[in-house]
Amino acid sequence: MPRQLTRRQFSFASATAVGGAAVLGPGALPWIKRADSGRSRRNSLGIALVGLGSYSAGQLAPALEETEQCHLAGIVTGTPAKADSWLAQYPHLEGHVYDYGNFDSIADDDAIDVVYVVLPNSMHAEYTMRAAAAGKHVICEKPMAVTAAEAQTMIDACEAAGRSLHIGYRLHFEPHNVEAMRISRERDFGRITYAQTEFGFRLGGSADQWRLKKSLAGGGALMDVGIYAIQAARYVIGEEPVSVTAQEVKTDPVRFAEVDETITWQLRFPNNCIASSQTSYALRSERLFAAGNSGWLELRPAFVYGGIAGKTSRGPMDLPQVNQQAKHMDGVASAILAGKTLSIDGHEGLRDMRVIDAIYESIRTGQAATI
């Protein structure tokens, strides 16, 4: 296993990444190869995690211990110490550890079917396209890119390679958010006429972290957690927005010199519905609210990994808590095994990127931007 890293690879060594559609039933394809994870499994796809930051270590790897349709089959890291630590915890990964220099040789690893890109945003496009060229299906964390144009190149690369591209939209498998989608789709409360979505938190940590560097993050709170507010507005209204007006505020312009801190925006939809949204690195806020002609729904908290709660004008949502990451990865694996593509594909990610591009344009011009 090569250990020699280039200077460029070392520059990314400390980077970490934070971050559904119904899950299909177990497949019936016993010929699918799998690594020995210490448990007896069948019909399971091998997933390689690219980037071993906190999301991979704290969420994805543990979730892969609960999945039925996929399993941890490889890792990619620029930090030898991390590789050693992961091998100690997951010894079955021996022989399936890669760095950013030899990443393309993953093409020869039959144990790996899917590459999950969990890197800083600016690296998503490169490793998605390299994974597709290596013949692997791809899951890419959100936001899928730093611009809509870049997202389109990722879609084109995966389509040219005949590989699927799905985005890390775990909430499409979370029962409360799925129920919000259903309420909108089936018009339980009539046509949705107003929505409010917001997600923000206080960003701590050092001043040199990747989230504060535009070259790695591409943007600030909007790309990190604001994308959840964009997604929620789109799926609870059930239409695509046509324009947006946005405003930016920085309470700490020194710390957030390169990226956005707090943004509010208003999305206008074809049916004249308005969604008012907010994201921030300076304050904690988390809510999904939607009102229709004959009722309303609210999720609070709405987007976190666990403990999501909801209610409607008819009463509380009595729904279970699930491992969102496990459901998400199982859903993607099941779709691949069945030869299907979920609604959380690259085109869904592209739609969010178009909104993000328009929000930044509105902030630059001070005018409404067409989406």
* Catalytic center residues: 142, 228
3-state secondary structure of 292: strand
**b vs e for 282-292, b when ≥16 Cβ sit within 10 Å of the residue's Cβ?**
beebbbbbbbb
Q: Where are any strands of DSSP class E within the chain?
A: 45-50, 70-76, 97-98, 114-117, 137-140, 165-167, 192-200, 243-249, 262-268, 274-280, 285-292, 296-299, 310-312, 315-316, 369-370
Rounded to a whole number of angstroms, the CA Rg of the chain reads: 20
Compute CA 298 distance to the chain's CA centroid, rounded to the nearest angstrom.
Answer: 22
Gap between the Cα atoms of 129 and 111, Å rounded: 19
> ω before 301 within 30° of 0 (cis)?
yes
- Dig out the tokens for 25 from the structure: 């039933």
Of all helices (H) and strands (E), which one includes residue 104? none
State how far the alpha carbon of 287 is from the alpha carbons of 88, 199, 369, in Å. Answer: 40, 7, 25
